[in-house]
Copies of this chain bind each other. A is one copy, B any other.
Amino acid sequence: MVETASQMGTGTGGTRNIAGTNHPLIELEREIASLHGKEAALIFTSGYVSNQTGIATIARLLPHCLLLSDALNHNSMIEGARQSGAERKIWRHNDIGHLEQLLRAAEPNRPKLILCESLYSMDGDVAPLHQICDLAERYGAMTYVDEVHAVSMYGPHGGGIPEREGVMDRIDILEGTLAKAFGCLGGYIAANANVIDPVRSYAPGFIFTTALPPPVCAAATAAIRHLKSSQLERDRHHDRAARLKSVLHAARLPVMPSETHIVPVHVGDPEKCKLVSDLLLWKHDIYIQPINYPTVPRGLERLRITPSPHHSDELIDRLASALVGVWDQLDLPLRETVCGEPDGMLIVPV
């Protein structure tokens, strides 16, 4: 007779410490540890929970810990930092000088944890990870990097921006999701055993909740393994993002600068931003959500487009054409043509 929290169904059966740990889950944790070149990994219900209970637990376990958090970190990281009860200092987004100033001001022997994302999802910009690791080593700080928008999509094996930059082994804790590019559900942290073991033993959001079901774990493992060896999807993804940017740019739409697959298009007004989205859906069968304050600062309201490897040339051209039509209808400003710009690239009817 097996003790299981799943008394009447086919569910996953209880918390990890009761009957929830299953073979596919362990296999998935090993696969993730290997993806990030770490000794161990720990799976949570979601990326949100990974950050929330992961950061809160690590910070609580480091006596008198100081958290140094990038100003644009995700809500789940902010909640984790808050719930830890530890002192927090916010450094200006991607501002290495400011981070160093805060590190220099802190007691040298105090435990410190630097929190940042590798790829910020609203602007598509990337953290200066090498410089952050340099500072961490100089000032004796640990590093925690959220890889949610990059894992599987960057790096020769999908290890994300840190793998691409060759900095993965200098980062103490990597956090990621299985619910975005890996197409499944759940989140994780990967680190060495001296970090993972205490989190496993002390994180309430890990201990007191139901484990991921075996089929979800098996699917995630298959997705990670596939994208470890196949470059096809990454190449196609980056190619689609580049083409989208180029086509929108040629149509003189106000594409905001982005180094990644995230393609923000500036609107600058919350009501018009919502209206653009509505018109795209109603008139053109295209669904792009408006991103307004408080998600982005006032004045920087935008559409945020994330093309997939499956978006064809035809779909991209149709989007550009629809956007130009909506821009025209709402009297939104197009970019001015700068002398010498390749206007011949304008392949979209305006």
Please give the residue numbers on chain A whose beta carbons come within 8 Å of chain B beta carbons, in ascending order: 1-12, 17-19, 45-49, 52, 74-76, 79, 83, 152-153, 177, 179-185, 204-205, 207-210, 212-213, 216, 223, 227, 233, 237, 261, 286-289, 303-309, 311, 315-316, 318-319
Contacts and interface: CB of A to CB of B under 8 A. Distances in A.
Q: What are the 6 tightest A-B residue pairs by CB atom distance, in nearest-first order?
A: A9-B183, A11-B183, A48-B209, A179-B210, A75-B208, A10-B183
Given A183-B9, A184-B9, A49 B49 contact: yes
A104 to B, nearest CB: 32
A5 B180 contact: yes
Given A19-B289, A49-B45, A3 B181 contact: no
B1 A311 contact: yes
A237 B8 contact: yes
A209 B47 contact: yes
**Chain A interface main SS type:** loop
19 contacts: A2-B286, A3-B287, A3-B303, A4-B306, A6-B179, A6-B180, A6-B181, A8-B227, A8-B237, A9-B180, A9-B184, A45-B45, A45-B49, A46-B49, A48-B49, A49-B49, A75-B208, A76-B204, A185-B212
B309 A8 contact: yes
Nearest to A284: B1
Contact of A7 (B2, B79, B180): B180
Contact of A289 (B18, B49, B287): B18
B183 A1 contact: no
- Greatest chain B CB density within 10 A among A9, A152, A177, A316 is at A9
A338 B26 CA distance: 49
Given A208-B48, A208-B75, A210-B47, A7 B287 contact: no
A261 B7 contact: yes
A5 B306 contact: yes
Contacts of A6: 179-181, 183, 308
A49 to B, nearest CB: 7
Given A8-B308, A181-B7, A210 B79 contact: no
- Greatest chain B CB density within 10 A among A184, A223, A303, A305 is at A184
A242 to B, nearest CB: 14
Contacts of A205: 48, 52, 79
A321 to B, nearest CB: 12
Given A46-B209, A49-B45, A83-B83, A307 B1 contact: yes
Contacts of A83: 79, 83
- Greatest chain B CB density within 10 A among A5, A179, A308 is at A179
Contacts of A311: 1
